[in-house]
Amino acid sequence: MKLSRLAGLAAVLALCLGVSGSAAAQSNVTSADVQRLQDNIYDASRDISQVRSRDQALASQLQAELDEARRGDVPQSQAAAQRTDRPQ
């Protein structure tokens, strides 16, 4: 798998964590937003399955991050960074 593909996967995971962490605080989340998030999680899961045969450790790390995104778990340090990085 190319490095750019892994970088893209990492970006999707970051997006998932960001959306799930901020979605609870916002009341204007649309069904399209939810569908887009579900599609991104599905794509990330498929990519992780492909990585697993080449790099078990990386796949395990990415899977753990994806599982956190699915549950909406965002570490406090990351949640604080998202609040400060987000435009008001």
Q: Which residue has the higher pLDDT, 41 or 86?
A: 41
Q: How many residues does the chain have?
A: 88
Model confidence, pTM:
0.54
Tens digit of pLDDT for each residue in 67-85?
888 887 655 555 555 545 4
Quote the tokens at residue 38.
């579900």
| Residue with token string 């899977």 | 63
pLDDT for position 20:
52
Residue 71 sits at φ, ψ, to 5 deg, of -80, -15
The distance between the two most distant Cα atoms of the chain, rounded to a whole number of Å, is 42
Tens digit of pLDDT for each residue in 15-28?
665 655 554 555 68
Question: pLDDT band at 86, cuts 50/70/90?
Answer: very low
pLDDT for position 48:
93
